Amino acid sequence: MSLELQLLWRSWLVRVAAFAALAITTAALLIGAAQVSRIDADLRAALEHDRAALIDAKARAAAAPLDAGMFGYDTFHAVPHPPGPGAWFNLGDTLAQPAVQRLRLLGLHGQVHDGTGGNPAARAVGAFDAAFVVAVLLPLLAVALLAPLAAEEREARRDGLLAALVASPRRFWARRIAARGLFVVLPVLLPIVVALIALDASLPFAAGVVAGVTLYAVGWIALCAGLALRWRGSSDAVAARLVALWALAVLVLPALGGVALDRPSPAVPGSAIALEHRDAVNTAWDRPKGETFDAFFVHHPEWRDTPPVTGRFHWKWYFAFHLVADRRVAPLIAAADDAKRARQQARDALGLALPTVALQNLFDGLSDQGIEGEAARFQAAQDFHDRLRVAFYPFVFEERPLTADDIAALPRPQPSARALRHRPAAWGALGAFALLGLGLLWRSARRLG
C-alpha cells in the first residue's frame, strides 16, 4: 500500500491535483466562514440597534405615556434568523435571505416577504463553499486519478506482465484503487475535518458531514475505477468518457432537474400573495367598518363586546383589517407551502437517481437550508407577530396609553429555531450509490481475473 502511495506521489499530475484540491477546499472553507461571520456581525449590529431603540422608547414613554396605536405603527422589531448550523460548510440560502426581519404591528404578509439578502448577482453564480467543492470537485478528482488506472498499464505494455506476476489480481487492484482513492478523499476531507474541529461543529453535524463525504467519495471512486477497469480504450479515451459522465451526472442533469421540477409543481407566485394582501387592506378602507370587525371577531371573539368605531379612523379598526388581510392570504400561503413541500419530495426522488442531488439534500438538512430553514424563518416571524398583536390589543381596544413599564413588558422576538434536520431519503440514496459503485467495481474486477 505504501509503495502504491509512493508511486502515485512521484507523478507530478497527482501532486498538482492533490495540492490544487487542498487549496480550493481550504479557500472555500475560509470564504464560507468569512461570509458567515459577516452575517453574524450584521445580525449583532441589528439587534444592538433594536435594543437601543427599545431603551429610547422606554425613556420617551417615561416622560409621557405614548399613543399605543402610533407606537405599534411606527416601531419595528428585529426578528433574528441566524445562519444555520455549519452554514460555513454549506451556505445554501444563507446569503439569499435577510438575517434580520424587521416587523411591525401591520399585516405580517405585507412585510415578511420584504427585504433581500446579499447581491443577487452573486447568488445567481452560486455559493463558493465546501459543500460545492465536495459535490463537484471531488468526483472530478476521482475521474482524473482513476481514469488511467488500467489503460496506463496497457499503454506501457505492462498489462501482460502484471497478469503473469500478480498472484491475486483482485487484491492488487484493490490496493491500487485504495491508494488512488486516498488521494481523492484526503485533500478534500482533511481541511474539512480541521475546520469542523476549529469551528467547534456539533458532533452530529461533523459525523454527518464526514459520513456524507465518505459515502459520496466511495461511490464515485468505485464507479470510476469500475468503468476504468472495464473500458478497453486508451487512457485519454477512458478519461474523456468519464469526464462526460461526470459533467452529466454532477452538473448538467442536476441543473436540468432543477429547471424541470419548476414545471410540474409551480409554487404560488409571490405576486399573487402581494396583490391579494394589498387588495384586502385597500378595500377595507372603503368598506363599512362593521364588515372588518365581523371578520376580526372570528379570530378574536374576546373583543366582540367593545364599542363600535363610528369615526373616520381608529387604530383598533386599522390593526383589525391588517389581521383580516393576513387571514385572507392564508390559503395562498398554505398552497405555496404545499408546492414547496411537493418540490422537496421531488428533490428527494431526484436524489435517488442523482447522487449529487442527494448529497445536496443531505448537506441542506445538516445545515438547515432549504424548506425547513425557510419555514423556521417564517415561523419565528409569525410567532412573534402573533404575540405582539395579542399584547397590543388591550391598549388599542381599551384606548390605554403605553407606559415605560408596558413597553418593557412587550414580547421580544425569539431567533428562528435552527437545527440539524434528518433526511433519511438522502442517506438511503447515498448509501445505495456507494453500494452500486462497489458492486460495479466487484464485477469489473471479476472479469479481469
Partner 1 sequence: MSAIVLVAANEARRLWRERLARTLGLLGLGLMLLSLLIGVVRDAQTAQRQADYAARAEADWQAQPDRHPHRVVHAGDFVFKTPGPLARLDWGVESQVGRSVFLEGHRQNTANFSDAALSGGLLRLGDLSPSIVIQQWLPLLMLLAGAAGVAGERQSGALAASLIGGARGAALLLGKAAALFGFGLLMAAPAALVLLWSAVSDPALAARALGLGGTFAAVLALAALGTVLLSSMARSVLAALLVGIVAWFALTSVAPRAAAALAELMHPAPSQAEVERRTALALAAVGDAHDPDSAPFAAFRQRVLDEYGVDRVEDLPVNFGGLVMLEGERLTTAAIGAEVDRQRDAWAAQQRLVAALGWALPTLAARDAAQALAGTDLAHHRQFLDQAERRRFATVQALNHLHATEIAALNDREQKLDASRWGEIPRPDFALPALREAAPSLPASLAALALWLLLGLIALIVVGRRLERRA
Q: Which of residues 280-309 bind partner 1 (CB under 8 A)?
A: 282, 285-286
Based on the shown chain and the rule CB under 8 A, indicate whether residue 119 belongs to the binding site for partner 1.
Answer: yes
Stretch that binds partner 1, among 159-167, 260-268, 290-298, 392-400 (CB under 8 A): 260-268
136 forms part of the interface with partner 1 (CB under 8 A)? yes
Among 26, 35, 292, 444, binds partner 1 (CB under 8 A): 35
Q: Smallest distance, Å, CB 282 to partner 1?
A: 4
Cβ proximity to partner 1: between 261 and 438 the closer is 261
Mark residues 56-75: x for contact with partner 1 by CB under 8 A, - for none. Answer: --------------------
16: CB partners within 8 A, 6+ apart: none
User: Quick one: cell of 292?
Assistant: 372588518
Q: Binding to partner 1 by residue 167, rule CB under 8 A?
A: no
Per rule CB under 8 A, is residue 161 in the interface with partner 1?
A: no
> By C-beta, is 348 or 397 nearer to partner 1?
348
Q: Which of 42, 67, 153, 159 binds partner 1 (CB under 8 A)?
A: 42
DSSP assignment string, 243-289: HHHHIIIIIIHHHHHHHHHTTTSPPPPHHHHHHHHHHHHHHHHHS-H
Q: Which stretch binds partner 1 (CB under 8 A): 173-181, 355-363, 384-392, 428-436?
A: 355-363
- The Cα 199–Cα 89 span in angstroms is 10
CB of 401 to partner 1, least distance (A): 18
Q: How far is the CB of 301 from partner 1 (least distance, A)?
A: 30
Give, as ranges, the residues between 360 and 419 that touch partner 1 (CB under 8 A).
360, 364, 369-371, 374
How many residues bind partner 1, per CB under 8 A? 97
At 434, list the grid cell.
456507494
Residue type at 369?
Answer: Q
Contacting residue, 22, 54, 199, 261, with partner 1 by CB under 8 A: 261
Secondary structure class of 361 (helix, strand, coil): helix
Angle at the Cα of 341 from the Cα atoms of 339 and 347, rounded to 5 degrees: 105
Report whether 129 contacts 89 (CB < 8 A). Answer: yes
Amino acid at 228: A
Q: How far is the CB of 308 from partner 1 (least distance, A)?
A: 19
> According to the binding rule CB under 8 A, does residue 212 interact with partner 1?
no
Please pick, from the candidates 59, 165, 194, 255, the single residue that binds partner 1 as defined by CB under 8 A. Answer: 255
The reply on whether position 8 binds partner 1 by CB under 8 A is no
Q: Which long-range contacts (CB under 8 A, 24 or more apart) does 295-304 make?
A: 295/324, 295/327, 296/320, 296/321, 296/323, 296/324, 299/323, 299/327, 300/393, 303/393, 303/397
Rounded Cα distance between 9 and 19, Å, is: 11
CA 98 to chain centre: 14
**Is 232 an interacting residue with respect to partner 1 (CB under 8 A)?**
no
Query: Does residue 126 touch partner 1 according to CB under 8 A?
Result: yes
CA 20 to chain centroid? 27
C-alpha 329/C-alpha 337 separation (Å) is: 12
Identify the bridge partners of residue 79 per DSSP, sorted by sequence position: 101
Q: Grid coordinates standing for 364?
A: 441542506
CA–CA dist 370, 92 (Å, integer): 7
Pick the stretch among 14-22, 218-226, 288-296, 438-446 that binds partner 1 (CB under 8 A): 14-22
- In whole angstroms, how close is the CB of 183 to partner 1 at the nearest point? 13
Alpha-carbon gap, residue 449 to 446, rounded angstroms: 5
Cβ 102 to partner 1, closest distance in Å? 5
**Binding range to partner 1, per CB under 8 A, among 195-203, 247-255, 294-302, 394-402:** 247-255
Q: Is the CB of 98 or the CB of 219 nearer to partner 1?
A: 98
CA nearest to 375, candidates 338, 423, 413: 338
Sign of CA dihedral 253, 255, 258, 261: negative
Query: Interface with partner 1 includes 121 (CB under 8 A)?
Result: yes
Dist CA 173 CA 167 (whole Å) = 11
At residue 115's C-alpha, the angle toward residues 109 and 116, to 5°, is 135
Beta-carbon-side half-sphere exposure of residue 172 (alpha carbons within 13 Å): 15
Residue selected from 256, 334, 408, 417 as contacting partner 1 according to rule CB under 8 A: 256
Where in 72-111 is the site for partner 1 (CB under 8 A)?
A: 76, 78, 92-93, 95-100, 102
* Closest CB 231 distance from partner 1, rounded Å: 12
User: Considering only residues 329-348, where is the footprint of partner 1 by CB under 8 A?
Assistant: 336, 340, 343-344, 347
Residue carrying the nine cell digits 442517506? 427
271 is a contact residue toward partner 1 (CB under 8 A): yes
Structure-block grid coordinates of residue 92: 445554501
Closer by beta carbon to partner 1, 247 or else 353: 247
Residue closer to partner 1, measured from CB, 78 or 295: 78
Binding of residue 27 to partner 1 (CB under 8 A): yes
